[in-house]
Amino acid sequence: MKKFVFTLQRLKEYRETALDTEKGTLAELRAELQEMEAELEKILEDIVRLNRELMELYRNGTTANDIAVHKRYINNKQQELHMKRHQILMQNRKIEQQLEVVIEATKEVSKLEKLEEHQLDDYKAAEQKETEMFIEEFVSNADWRKSHSGQ
């Protein structure tokens, strides 16, 4: 009997490659999210620092212009914070969508793996039957030779 070959091997390999690609994309999106979250932390730290500096300016007394400039810096950082949070929200949505793609690709590969297992089981059963038939034929021929050699 010839060697087992999964009939959809090329399709399975293609789907596995596609799955690896989709997993890579998901990993990239997650890495980008981590970067964004680090940037968000930096912005928050900047806002805290700027607020402390503003309080120090109030305590020490300064010009109205210095206070206005400092408040503008804080407002700009708060706008940056708002934009970064929005980017993070959008990135999380991209990650959720990509996760769905990965799940679907995983299901496709899994279906093909189960089909391959089923085909392999069928192959083994056919191989076993062929072996049994060979043994039966061998025994039958041996019996026939034995019965005809004695005459």
Query: Quick one: how many helices (H) and strands (E) in the chain?
Result: 2, 0
Q: pLDDT (tens digit, 9 = 90+) per residue, 15-65?
A: 999 999 999 999 999 999 999 999 999 999 999 999 999 999 889 988 899
Q: pLDDT (tens digit, 9 = 90+) per residue, 53-112?
A: 999 988 998 889 999 999 999 999 999 999 999 999 999 999 999 999 999 999 999 999
Is residue 17, in this structure, part of any structural domain at all? yes
Where residue 102 sits, what CATH number does that domain have? Answer: 1.10.287.1700
Is residue 126, in this structure, part of any structural domain at all? yes
Is residue 107, in this structure, part of any structural domain at all? yes
Is residue 110, in this structure, part of any structural domain at all? yes
Q: How many other C-beta atoms are found inside a 10 Å radius of the C-beta of residue 43?
A: 19
- State how far the Cα of 123 lies from the Cα of 117, in Å rounded to an integer: 10
- State how far the Cα of 66 lies from the Cα of 32, in Å rounded to an integer: 37
Is residue 60, in this structure, part of any structural domain at all? yes
Is residue 21, in this structure, part of any structural domain at all? yes
**DSSP letter at 67?**
H
**Domain containing residue 110:** 9-149
Q: Inform me whether the pLDDT recorded for 123 exceeds 80.
A: yes
Q: What is the pTM of this model?
A: 0.76
How many domains, the chain? 1
- State how far the Cα of 142 lies from the Cα of 129, in Å rounded to an integer: 20
Is residue 139, in this structure, part of any structural domain at all? yes
Q: How many other C-beta atoms are found inside a 10 Å radius of the C-beta of residue 101?
A: 16
Q: CB neighbours of 119 closer than 8 A, spacing ≥ 6?
A: 4, 6, 7
What is the amino acid identity at position 97?
Answer: Q
- State how far the Cα of 53 lies from the Cα of 74, in Å rounded to an integer: 10
Is residue 2, in this structure, part of any structural domain at all? no
